[in-house]
Structure formats: structure tokens, C-alpha cells
Amino acid sequence: VTSISWSSNTTRLATVGADKIVQLFDEHGEKQDRFSTKPADKAARTYGVRTIEFSPDGTKLAVAQSDNIVFVYKLGSDWKDKKSICNKFQQTSSVTCLTWPAGHPNEVVFGLAEGKVKVGQLKSNKAATLYSTDSFVVSMCAGPDGNSILSGHLDGSIYRFHFETETVPRPTTTKFAMVPQCVPYALSWGYAGICAAGNDRMVRFWDSEGREGQTFDYSGDPKIKEFTVAAFNPSGESVVLGNYNRFLVFAWHPKRSEWAEVVQREVPNLYTVTALSWRADGSRLIVGSLCGGVDMFDVCIRRSRYRDSHEFTYVSLSQVIVKSLRSGARIVLKSNVGFEIKKINIFQERFLVAHTPESILLGDLQTCRLSEIPWHSS
């Protein structure tokens, strides 16, 4: 399995492997459809799919290929709708990785073997260079703000690019970090910080401003091999890293302002983890492996019942899925500033009031509307 992507509305899950066929599943993991990718040159079939990524609205799928091209497929609204290519970006070297920033629905960013990072503009069907380096691009991820990306390179360098926004008057590129003697295959960015790991078996963290944080050294552990892929959960407080026959989970503890390993899950005969993807509400983790397996893991800190009428699933300290046991209606309560949700009350079977140390969350199960109000507990 070379890549997995879950749409932001959680209704579609896509996987692709060495057979170059995209498999489409529903939110429960049931297979619904499939389609074959196409080569850049019809006469040549010797290519591989490096990465797939859903557009922010979930209606398109970008496919990065080793034969120097990125295709964007329009999937349609129904499973059996015809899959058509709406954009293609031919390049001069192999496309190695790709990401689709949430704040740029018409711009997909990808890296090349020659070291360039480019943006494919869907409206003009043209690609432009964001920045150039002298080193092969091995990994890429988008920032939680939806307006920035990181790229990891073969020489151990990590670059950060910010798109132009109201607060950033012009596009900026900076060399974010240099990881000595390590290829940062595993690179991810969440609200709590940035994580990079690779072949030196060390897991490194930075804050979003680039200040170096903790480092976890596994070079003396014979069970831990090189890290291959990383993915922050949607709330940005925990990150999972793929390894050989296992994956590791690190969590940010805001009270102590530190990272800690919280889970090291061994899965016999899993072999190398090659792809990871989270469901948008943080309740499921999809793990793809070298041998073609795709496993779905149920993820939560704890579950509890409220008066036998509702179920609370705590997927992180600051995010809780509230489900009505009568109607099946669901809503995701989330503190946008990362405060821990301490207590939840439900009124009239509909209205939610949740408390954090610094705010109050209000929700409506029928309309799925949410608000967060600053509130200091006395």
C-alpha cells in the first residue's frame, strides 16, 4: 500500500498500492468502487503511484505518479459516477510526494525528484514553482492553518512555505530545520507542533515557530527500525508514526508542556507501515503496510454514557464525539484552542454545554452548530 487518503467529510476512503488501482471505501470500511490510474504515456506502463490526496471538499482526488505527472480525478457525488481526469500537470522529473492544503481548494502542492516544490493550479491547469532546492523531496505535509506546507529532503533539510494571506503579505520560504544524518521520511504538522523521523530511529519535535523541542532516541532498541510515515490526529494533539511491525503514538501534554510516548502497538506480521490516515473526527486510524494490508483501528481515550441516552467518545483531550443513542445523531465537540474538555451536560435531548478550564462549548445536535466562548472558572 503506497498511500491512503480519507476525505474531510469522512464519507470516502481511498487507498492505492503497487497494482496502481485506486480502491474506494465508505466510512465503515466497506468497498464501494475502484478505478485504474493512467500512465503519462499510453505506450508505457512502468510507473508507480506515490501519493493520493482528496481535495478539501472531497469531490476530487489528486494522484502523484513516478512517471513525471500529477493527475486530478473528478469523482462525482455518487459511488458509481464516472471518474474523469479534470487536470494533469506534466513535469520534468518524477513526482515524489503531494499534499492538498485545506485553505487552497484549487491548488495542489507536490515535490519532485529534482528538488523542486511546485503548485498545480486547477483553474489554469498550469504548475508553478514555489521554491527550488538541490535535494530530492522525500516527504510533504500541510499545516493545520491550511495555508502552509512543509517538505522533507534527502539531505535532511526541512523547508516551510507560507502562502500569501491577510497576515502574511507575500509568500515566504524558510529553511525550517536541518536533521543531521537522517532522511525525514516521516513528517507531519499538527496544532501542537511538528514531528519528523526517519532512518536514524530518532523522533524529533518542534513547535510551530521552529523552536526545537524534545527528541526521543530509539537507536538502542533492536525492535525499532526506521520510521517511514507520520500523521497527526485531526485535533493536532497526538501523532502516530509507522515502523516495522508496529506503530507508535506520541501525545502533547499541555499542562506539562511536553511530549510523551503513550502507545507502542505491536502488530505481528504487519511488516513495514507504508501509509497512515485519520478519519476527520479522530475516531478511526487507517494503517497500510508493505504487504498490501489495510487495517482500521478504533481510536479513543475513553467512552462514557450520559443518562443512557447519549454516548461520549473522547478521541483526544480537547475533542469528544457526542452520539444520541436514540436517533444516531452525532456531533463533534472540539475546543478550537486545544483546552481539555472536563464536563459535558445535555439539555432537552438536544443542546450541549461543555466546560474547559478556559472556555465554554455550546452545541446543537440537530443543526450541528458549535460555539466556543472564553470563560474563566472561578
Predicted local confidence at residue 302, as pLDDT: 84
Task: Give, in degrees to the nearest 5, the angle at Cα 241 between 68 and 118.
Answer: 25
CA 167, CA 157: separation in Å to the nearest integer? 26
Instruction: List, in sequence order, every beta strand (DSSP E) within 267-328.
Output: 273-278, 284-289, 294-298, 302-306, 310-316, 319-324
As given in the structure block, the three cell numbers for residue 372 are 466556543
Nearest one of 163, 151, 225 to 188, comparing CA atoms: 151
Q: What is the pTM of this model?
A: 0.88
Cα 308 versus chain centre, distance? 34
The answer for residues whose C-beta is within 8 angstroms of residue 39's C-beta and 6 or more apart is 45, 47, 65, 67
The pairing of beta strand 31-36 with beta strand 148-153: unpaired
Cα separation, 365 vs 350, whole angstroms: 5
User: What is the chain's pLDDT, residue by residue, as a tens digit (378 residues)?
Assistant: 999 999 998 889 999 999 999 999 998 889 999 999 999 998 887 899 999 999 999 999 999 999 999 999 999 888 888 899 999 999 999 999 999 999 999 999 999 999 999 999 999 999 999 999 999 999 999 999 999 999 999 999 999 999 998 888 899 999 999 998 999 999 999 999 999 999 999 999 999 888 999 999 999 999 999 999 999 999 898 999 999 999 999 998 887 889 999 989 999 999 999 999 999 888 899 999 999 899 998 888 788 999 888 999 988 888 899 998 888 888 889 888 778 888 999 998 889 999 998 899 999 988 989 999 998 765
